Amino acid sequence: MSRSIRAFIDLAALEHNLTVVRRYAAHTRIMAVIKADAYGHGLLHTAKALRKADGFAMLELDAAIRLRDAGYQQSILLLEGFFSVSELAQCKKYRLSAVIHNHEQLAMLSASKHGRLDVFLKINTGMNRLGFAPEQFLSVLGALKANPAIGHITLMTHFSSASDTDGDQEVIKQLQCFNSMTTSHSYPRSLANSAAVIRYPETHADWVRPGIMLYGASPLTNKTAAELNLHPAMTVTSKIIALQYLQSGNKVGYSGCFQADRPMLIGIVAGGYADGYPRHAPTGTPVLVNNQRTRILGRVSMDMLTVDLSGIKDAELNSPVILWGKGMPIDEVANAANTISYELLCALTPRVTKTAQDHTLTHCARGGL
């Protein structure tokens, strides 16, 4: 199928964004977060571009095994740990590290007889998602220390508000909670996500865990990716596949959500919510046609969306369209659609052909890379 919509993955941009992380966190190790098929960018190609990272973090056991089988020797961390004894055995077999965040995992570790496992002990300091309560920390740490199946221990937490402009107090509160429990223990620490890497150097500790900034989107609500010197790693392109001439009063698409107030030319673009473009993106969501900025009109359909071609020079059938990426920041599209860049990147569906590009050659693959 040769539909026009494509996603181009810029491996050089991924490499560049990793260097940006290094500049912010020059004295700590980097655990590059590549969960959810590397935020929709393709696991193995992204890992190749980020091969200078000190480690990788993800949720999926099968993806972690793929990395090991591909020859990656760095630390590989499972962010939700293991969920069964058989998965624990796989973690040991493939030298994976696991986040320990509940007592069921502790029980499985206690019953484990063979091999050793490096663990990240997660403390819930206010995110209230995963992790042991502060009052449980000492007993859980003691159980891990006493277990011969445990290798290295790293202490970790996760910030809930590091990306918010008014999040300082919450970050400080969580950091104080973490430090009050851990400062008397000489274990490595991991706290900072992308936003904290940039805004809170005091949280860098021994490991940082950048995610969204590696892919060229801003983790901050008050700074653009360009202001942070981050380059977009994914550019989603398509083409105009049909033209329509509207008269004043004509409506567009399902439910006629847009009505023309003057005669105008519109374009139909190959790309809709079945490709991962958000259905709830309203009229006015920005898009590029012929590298000129315009807007979408009306309701996004399953396979198509409509764009305003008023004032777009040389607009015609097959004119190129950029939905997000180079020249059209994904954060702007996400803000207009009342969502976040993470969701747009991860929602891209397998029927969109992804092409990974590096400095010298192009690699192509259908669906995921």
Show binding-site residues for substrate. 129, 302
Query: Which residue out of 35, 92, 239, 354 is catalytically annotated?
Result: 35
pLDDT-based confidence at residue 341 (cuts at 50, 70, 90): very high
Give me 63's structure tokens: 């993806």
Mean pLDDT, residues 148-153 taken together = 95
In this predicted structure, the answer to whether residue 367 has a pLDDT above a threshold of 50 is no
Looking at residue 91, its pLDDT comes to 97
Q: What is the pLDDT of residue 319?
A: 97
Active-site annotation holder among 52, 145, 254, 313? 254
User: What's the CA gap between 53 and 88, in Å, rounded?
Assistant: 25
Tell me the pLDDT band of 164, cut-offs 50, 70 and 90. confident
Q: Over the stretch 23-77, which tens digit does the pLDDT of each residue have?
A: 999 999 999 999 999 999 999 999 999 999 999 999 999 999 999 999 999 999 9
Per-residue confidence (pLDDT) for residue 359, from 0 to 100: 52
Helix, strand, coil tally for the chain in percent (to 5): 30, 25, 45
The question of whether 35 is a catalytic residue gets the answer yes
pLDDT band at 19 (very low <50, low <70, confident <90, very high): very high
Q: Are 306 and 266 in contact (CB under 8 A)?
A: yes
Q: In this structure, which amino acid lies at residue 129? A: R
Domains of the chain: 11-215 (3.20.20.10), 234-338 (2.40.37.10)
Whether residue 300 is predicted with pLDDT greater than 80 in this model: the reply is: yes
C-alpha 277 chain-centroid distance? 16
Q: Is 113 a catalytic residue?
A: no
Indicate whether this model's pTM tops 0.75.
yes
